[in-house]
Homo-oligomer: A and B are copies of this chain.
Amino acid sequence: MFSIDTIHAARERIAALAHRTPVLRSRTLDAQTGATLFFKAEHLQRSGSFKFRGAANAVLSLTDEQARRGVVTHSSGNHAAALALAARIRGIPAHIVIPEGTSRAKVEAVRRYGARIIPCPPTMAGREAAAERVRAETGAELIHPYNDFRVMAGQGTAALELLEDVPDLDTIVVPISGGGLAAGVATAAWALRPAIRIIGVEPAGAADALRSLQAGTIVREPEAATVCEGLRAFLGPLTFPVLRKHLDGIVTVADSETLASMRLIWSVLKQVIEPSAAAAPAAVIGKRIPLSQTSRVGIVLTGGNLDFDTMPQPGDPA
């Protein structure tokens, strides 16, 4: 079963490896939103995103026998780098199936952590087939990016820390992709503070979780259309029921709002967050979530991995 106890156990397991990330504040954003905001800075987590929590918990949960055979996953993003780093720390093989077309910087991040990279066609079927082939060949343990209790529990540790630092939050806002973070955070927060509101945020162009909750079953559409690379996945059979039980609502934000909020956070907080990490703040900044002047709102800044080398830069000579 998946519960607060699973999450407490994950926290003990990863304590020596994961950063306890800081909680950031901003007078300017408080004034702009009329509430009191607490940003859980997971872009400062190891590997640059909260994904390290779940990956580390999964890797450290393996028996020595399992660990020797290594781990495998398919991911083009933050889970890939996080799993590669967690495996390197334990000193075991990591096989990462990466869709063709993934940016060089993301592939390099995984390679830098010493993982073996297996290219695959850029489709979910292609990814799953390649990962299954690696699993069959190596006996490596599949660590799914979200549909895995070990991963969900790891992600939930962010909420334990946040509520320790700010016990009287009345709302926590998290982005939803496959639902691993949202499920972990909602489970932890609901257990510690039953009256708290947990609000999920999706890009308007990838609002499958909203539809799923409305339909009462996992809906695998629309095909994601969003610049938020990290928010394109569908819910899984393990995350969906948790969200159905503990989530108080889902709001959607347009990519334009998300990108404007990303720039605002860069500019005001001086923190580099990636587009996917700006969706949750966008919902608050854009007043999509009803808040009062006494509201104390936790917002998870999920990651800060951007490919700066291939993009025009502030400061570039024109």
Contact = CB atoms under 8 A, between A and B. Distances in A.
Interface string A263-282: 10011001111110010000
A312 B278 CA distance: 17
B304 A314 contact: no
A270 B304 contact: yes
DSSP class of A's interface residues: helix, strand, loop or mixed? loop
B259 A313 contact: yes
B308 A275 contact: no
B259 A316 contact: yes
Contact of A314 (B43, B270, B306): B306
A307 interface: yes
Nearest to A44: B270
Interface in A298-313: 304, 306-309, 311-313
Given A307-B314, A308-B314, A313-B259, A270 B271 contact: yes
Contacts of A70: none
Interface string A173-189: 00000000000000000
How many monomers of this chain does the complex have? 2
B272 A315 contact: no
A48 interface: yes
A317 interface: yes
Contacts of A313: 259, 262-263, 311
A204 B150 CA distance: 52
A141 interface: no
Interface string A117-158: 000000000000000000000000000000000000000000
B275 A272 contact: no
Interface in A222-269: 227, 255, 259, 262-263, 266-267
Nearest first, the 7 A-B pairs at minimum CB distance are A275-B315, A270-B304, A312-B312, A270-B272, A263-B308, A306-B314, A311-B314
Interface of A: 43-44, 48, 227, 255, 259, 262-263, 266-267, 270-275, 278, 304, 306-309, 311-317
28 contacts: A44-B270, A48-B270, A227-B315, A227-B316, A227-B317, A255-B317, A259-B313, A259-B315, A259-B316, A262-B313, A262-B315, A266-B272, A266-B308, A267-B272, A270-B271, A270-B273, A271-B271, A271-B272, A274-B314, A275-B314, A275-B315, A278-B315, A306-B315, A307-B314, A308-B314, A311-B312, A311-B314, A312-B312
